[in-house]
Amino acid sequence: MKIYLDPGHGGRDPGTSGNGLLEKDIALSIGLATRNILQKEYVGADIRLSRTTDILAGGDHLSTGQSLSWRANDANEWGADLFVSIHCNGGIANGFESFRYNGISSPTKLQKVVHREIMDQLPNWVNDRGMKSANFAVLRDTKMQAVLTENLFLGHKDSADWLKSNWPKLARGHAEALAILGGLKKKDKEDDMPTAEEVAKAVWRMKMQKPHAAKGVLWQMNSLLKWAYGHSLTAVRQGVVNEAKLDALITALTEHDEGLQERLNQALQDATLTVDVNVNTFEEEPEEEPTQ
């Protein structure tokens, strides 16, 4: 899975600013940390950044408009599967919002998952300003699924204060979303194996996308535990449990361990099996003009 991260602005283009923060600095910090999380904790991701230092992407000799074209072309030529442009908003409004190209009528899967995972990392006083669309160059000119995140308003004092120490949470949100979308597996943790209860919780939380592969991959208990642990933290929380797939998975697993069924049954009884169903409708808010 090729993932292209685009920390906005850079070099002589600082982007917006407020309360002692520069957009280009926050964007770069989030981009680098997102890459580090994906490389350290997951397997299967090939990651490229439009910039890794405080320069204008493509070179400081370019204009801002030329830099935007360079980012899109660089992602296209590299053959990226997913593109995420990372920004902060200007003004004093409160909230997080994400953008897709306005030639696409409804939110893409990329936008939905990225938006959801980032909102999960934010404090409850941050407004959800919705999944929006715009004619931004990096969204219009990229050939793959693309989204642009506006990570709070730097002119909003509470948001700026939160960002100063909590921006890594935004990187976590970006990374977890991309891991879900890319179907990335957690790296094995040999010394931290889960209990049967954790396995049961993981089974309940995950949306099995390839249940037919269970018998081939999970051929012994050790493989099961590693696999279940790796997926539990990247579960797709969409509010739906597919019971047919769950039953097929447990059947496949118990063929390899006669005692597993009893332990899973007990763990399922003890576990908290709540399913959150969040159906949000978003309205456009004309409070502030987003920056790119």
User: What are the catalytic residues?
Assistant: 150
Sequence-distant (≥ 6) Cβ neighbours of residue 285 within 8 angstroms: 93, 95, 129, 130
* Other beta carbons within 10 Å of 74: 18
Distance CA 255, CA 253 (A): 5
Distance CA 258, CA 133 (A): 52
Distance CA 116, CA 122 (A): 10
Distance CA 280, CA 39 (A): 32
Q: Which H helix or E strand runs over 35?
A: helix 23-41
DSSP 291: P
Sequence-distant (≥ 6) Cβ neighbours of residue 269 within 8 angstroms: none
Tokens 């697993």 correspond to what residue? 253
Sequence-distant (≥ 6) Cβ neighbours of residue 122 within 8 angstroms: 96, 152, 169, 170, 173
* Strands 96-101 and 145-153, bridge-based pairing: antiparallel
Amino acid letter, 184? L
Contact in structure between 174 and 118 (CB atoms under 8 Å) = yes
Distance of CA 38 to the CA centre of its chain: 10
Helices (H), the chain: 23-41, 64-78, 109-121, 137-140, 157-182, 196-205, 214-217, 221-232, 243-254, 260-270
Distance CA 232, CA 130 (A): 27
